[in-house]
Amino acid sequence: MTSQLFAICFNATHPSDLARFWSGVLGWELADAPGDAAAILPPDAAGFRIRFLPGHDPKTVQNRAHFDLTSASPEDQRQTVARALGLGAHHIDVGQLPEDGHVVLADPDGNEFCVIEAGNAFLADTGAIGALACDGTREVGYFWSEALRWPLVWDQDQETAIQSPNGGTKITWGGPPVAPQTGTNRLYFELALPAGADGKAEIERLVSLGAKRADTGEGGGARVLMLDPDGNEFALRPPR
């Protein structure tokens, strides 16, 4: 049985504070989480949660993935930007042009995100998080399409995008040139196996698609850390 996208995880210096920020920006519910971790829940069962896990490495480079938030109107975009700034975000310059319609911000932990202008056809009907936009090759887009069994909704000029058959947030990869990875990614995918699934068989399936094991565990009671074909970390949770 195929594993499912359970969460987008942030390694955060202050997980609970960052969870409150994103809960306020998105209007998602705060959830109970073990230990020092924190999480917020999507508005419907078809979406993924966002988890915030303790991580103390300082941020030194631009993240390889960021959220693109959608806007229903120019006023809605202004309100989203104002709400984020009021909760602790700040404007940043990542090379955007003055004529670009999107607004680039960073959350209180320095993670970049964009508030996209209204009328963006590619992100229509995706929800508050229109896309998780990633640096990545065409190969890694193909890998994740097969790994999650999500169809490709864009495959052109080395750029790829996938989306759940149920709709919602798209995951995109911008193609070359891909920024080199420096240390552990702050954002990564966490997959979960359905109840009764064979964890060892799923690991073997992911490896056959191009993933690699990144630890020495056997996939029993704990999460298994793996790498996708571009070397990005992702985690596989045991069956619940």
Mean pLDDT of 221-238: 91
Q: Rounded mean pLDDT of the chain?
A: 92
* 56 pLDDT above the threshold of 90: no
* 219 pLDDT above the threshold of 80: no
Percent of the chain with pLDDT strictly greater than 70 = 96
**What is the DSSP secondary structure assignment for residue 149, as one 8-state letter?**
T
Residue 111: pLDDT band (50, 70, 90) is very high
Mean pLDDT of 212-238: 82
Mean pLDDT of 74-99: 94
Strands (E), the chain: 4-12, 29-31, 38-41, 49-54, 65-69, 90-91, 103-106, 112-115, 129-134, 152-156, 159-163, 170-173, 187-192, 212-213, 224-227, 233-237
- Distances from the Cα of 67 to the Cαs of 35, 60, 113, 211, in angstroms? 26, 19, 5, 24
pLDDT single digits (tens) 163-213: 999 999 999 999 998 888 888 899 999 999 988 889 999 999 999 999 999
Residue 215: pLDDT band (50, 70, 90) is low
Mean pLDDT of 42-62: 88
* 216 pLDDT above the threshold of 50: no
pLDDT value for 218:
42
Neighbours of 37 (CB within 10 A): 17
Mean pLDDT of 57-86: 95
Contacts of 79 (CB under 8 A, 6+ apart): none
